[in-house]
Amino acid sequence: MYLIVGLGNPERKYDGTRHNVGFEAIDAISKQFGIEVNHKEHKGIVGKGIINGKKVILVKPQTYMNLSGECVLPLTDYYEIDPSTEMVVISDDVSLSTGNIRVRKKGSAGGHNGLKNIINLLGTNEFPRIRVGVGECEGDMIAHVLGRYDAEDRERVDASMEKVIGAVELFLDGDLDAAMNKYNKKEEK
């Protein structure tokens, strides 16, 4: 069983904001593989299904970004998920150009409060993550991550979902190295 977690904020007013790109990724994955994400469980909205022969749980934590771990920890405990090999977290990244992605096997929160909360509650930073670029902040960080994309950036983010899906498939195949080699390219501005 694999846990695929997309980070975001639950209220409709946050739909389409930079911070909710993790939710958008879960939506894209669920559409691609026909997995309905509509069941409430452990402070999240989840969907269970099969991707490339692997049992998966797609998750959108409903705890708000800064408390994402309050959903992730109970799910990893209940389903006996090893975060280092059976979980991937998808989040926004303000240090990447819009639409670029970066795959990592482990690492720090990089200033991301959702990742920070997951790391604190799990007691480890050793879990894979896919970070989706939402553009660098040139002012107020909160206004930036809770803001929406212009038309050009919206297209870039929509196009990045294909890369995210590809990275998730490689993760499920146990080949994060291939995902990093394929998707961690030099920044496209």
Over residues 53-78, the pLDDT tens digits come to: 999 999 999 999 999 999 999 999 99
113 known ligand binder:
yes
Q: Are 134 and 157 spatial neighbours (Cβ–Cβ below 8 Å)?
A: yes
pTM of this structure: 0.94
- From the number of C-beta atoms within 10 Å of its C-beta (0-12, 13-18, 19+), residue 20 rates as buried
pLDDT tier at 178, thresholds 50, 70, 90: very high
Q: Which residues contact 186 (CB under 8 A, 6 or more apart)?
A: none
Catalytic residue among 19, 42, 112, 144: 19
Q: Quick check: is 19 catalytic?
A: yes
64 known ligand binder:
yes
Classify domain 2-182 by CATH number.
3.40.50.1470
78 known ligand binder:
no
pLDDT tier at 135, thresholds 50, 70, 90: confident
Q: At what angle do helices 151-172 and 176-183 cross, to 10 degrees?
A: 150
Q: Are 123 and 184 spatial neighbours (Cβ–Cβ below 8 Å)?
A: no
pLDDT at 189 over 60: no
Q: What is the reported pLDDT for 141?
A: 83
